[in-house]
Structure 1
Amino acid sequence: MNLFRTKDIEQMRALVRASGMAKNLGVIDLILLGIGGVIGTGIFVLTGVAAAEYAGPAVMLSFIISGFACGMAGLAYAEFASIVPASGSAYTYSYAALGEIVAFIVGWNLVLEYTVTSSAVAAGWAGYVTGLFKSAGIHLPFALTHVPADGGIINIPAILITLLLSIFLIRGTKESTRLNRILVGVKLLAVFIFLLLAGPHVNTMNWQPFMPFGFSGVAGGAAIVFFAYIGFDAVATTAEECKNPSRDLPIGMIGSLIICTILYVIVAAVLTGVVPYTHLNNPEPVAYALRYIGYNIGSALVGVGAICGITTVLLVLLYGQARIFFAMSRDGMIPAKICKIHPRFQTPYLVTITGCIFVSLIAGFAPIGVIAEMANIGTLSAFFVASLGVMVLRIRKPDLPRTFRCPLIWLVGPLAVLSCGYLMYNLPWETWVRFIVWCIIGFIIYFSYSYKHSFLNK
Structure 2
Amino acid sequence: MPGPARPEARPPVPDTSTRESVPDAPEDQLKRSITGRLLFFYVLGDVLGSGIYVLIGAVAGAVGGAFWIAFAVGVSIATITGLAYAELVTKYPRAAGAALYVNKAFRNKALTFLVTISFLSASFAASGSLASGFAKYFAEVWDLPPALLVTILFVLVLSIVNYIGITESVVVNMLMTFVEVAGLVIIMGIGLWYVVEGNAHFGTLTEFTTEGNEIFAVVAGVALAFFAMTGFENAANVAEETIAPKKTFPRALVGGMVAAGVIYVLVAMTAALTVDIPVLADSDAALLEVVREGIIPVPVGVMTILFACIAMIAITNTTLVSVVTQSRILYGMAREDVVPGVFAKIHPERRSPWVGLVFSFVVVAALLVVGDVIVRAGGEDVVSRLATVTVVFLLFIYALVIVSALKLRGQDESEETFRANTGLLLVGLVGNAVLLAYVVIDDPSSLYWVGGLLAIGVGLFVVEYLFGSRDRPAGRERGEPDPTDDLMKGA
Q: Are 2:433 and 1:421 equivalent residues in the alignment?
A: yes
The range that moved more, 95-104 or 256-265, is 95-104
CA distance in 2, matches of 1:455, 1:256: 38
Q: How far did 1:112 drift?
A: 1.0
Instruction: Decide whether the 8 Å contact of 2:275 with 2:289 is kept in 1.
Output: no
Q: Within 5 A, what are the aligned runs for 1:12-27?
A: 20-27=29-36
CA displacement 1:55-101 (0-9 Å, x = unmatched): 11222111111111111111111111011110111111111112232
Q: Give the CA deviation at 1:198.
A: 2.7
Amino acid at match of 1:290: V
1:211 corresponds, among 208, 220, 223, to: 208
The two structures have a TM-score, normalised by structure 1, of 0.87
Specify which of 395, 408, 415 is matched with residue 421 of structure 2.
Answer: 408
Distance 1:195 1:225 in 2: 19
Q: Find the residue that maps to 1:343 and give its secondary structure.
A: coil
Aligned residue in 1 for 2:478: 455
Contact kept, 8 Å, 2:323 with 2:357, in 1: the verdict is: yes
The alpha-carbon deviation at position 254 of structure 1 amounts to 0.6
Measured in 2, the distance between the counterparts of 1:274 and 1:390 equals: 42
Counterpart-to-counterpart distance in 2, 1:171 and 1:436: 31
Structure 1 residues 276-310: Cα deviation after superposition (integer angstroms, max 9, x where no partner): 22221111221111212445133332221101101
Distance 1:332 1:242, change over 3 A: same
Shift of 1:106: 0.7
Q: What does residue 313 of structure 1 align with?
A: 318
RMSD after superposition: 2.7
Distance in 2, matches of 1:253 and 1:33, equals 9
How far, CA to CA, are the matches of 2:366 and 2:461 in structure 1? 27
Structure 1 segments unaligned to the other structure (5+ residues): 147-154
SS in 1 for 2:55: helix
Residue 186 of structure 2 aligns with an amino acid whose one-letter code is I
CA drift of 1:339 comes to: 0.8
Match of 1:345 among 331, 347, 350: 350
Match of 1:375 in 2: 390
**Secondary structure of residue in 2 paired with 1:196:** helix
- 1:436 shift after superposition: 6.9
Q: Is the 8 A contact 1:55 1:212 kept in 2?
A: yes
CA contact (8 A) 1:7 1:456 kept: yes
Aligned length: 434
* CA–CA separation in structure 1 for the residues paired with 2:445 and 2:365: 23
Q: Which residue of 1 aligns with 2:249?
A: 249
Amino acid across the alignment from 1:408: N
Paired residue for 2:71, among 40, 63, 82? 63
> SS of the counterpart of 1:344?
coil
Distance 1:440 1:122 in 2: 21
Q: Is the 8 A contact 1:58 1:211 kept in 2?
A: yes
1:29-40 equivalences under 5 Å are 29-40=38-49
TM-score relative to the length of structure 2: 0.82
Q: Is the 8 A contact 1:83 1:402 kept in 2?
A: no
Does the CA contact (< 8 Å) of 1:57 and 1:272 recur in 2?
Answer: yes
Distance of 1:227 and 1:41 partners within structure 2: 7
Distance in 1 (CA, whole Å) between partners of 2:5 and 2:66 is 44
Question: Counterpart of 1:149?
Answer: none
Q: Indicate conservation of the 8 Å contact 2:250/2:418, yes or no.
A: no
Q: Once the 2 structures are TM-superposed, how far is the Cα of residue 43 of structure 1 from its aligned partner?
A: 1.3
Instruction: Specify the code of the residue in structure 2 equivalent to 1:261.
Output: G
Q: Match for 2:278: what amino acid?
A: T
Report if the CA contact (8 A) 1:82-1:402 is conserved: no
The whole-number CA distance in structure 1 between the counterparts of 2:358 and 2:454 is 27
Is the 1:388–1:417 Cα contact (8 Å) retained in structure 2? yes
Contact 1:87-1:238 at 8 Å conserved across structures? yes
Return closer, same or farther for 1:81/1:163 CA change in 2, 3 Å cut-off. same
TM-aligned CA deviation for residue 440 of structure 1: 7.3
Provide the rounded CA distance (Å) in 1 between the counterparts of 2:98 and 2:366. Answer: 26
Which structure 2 segments of 5+ residues have no match?
A: 18-24, 373-381, 469-476, 482-491
The Cα of 1:211 is off from its aligned counterpart by 2.8
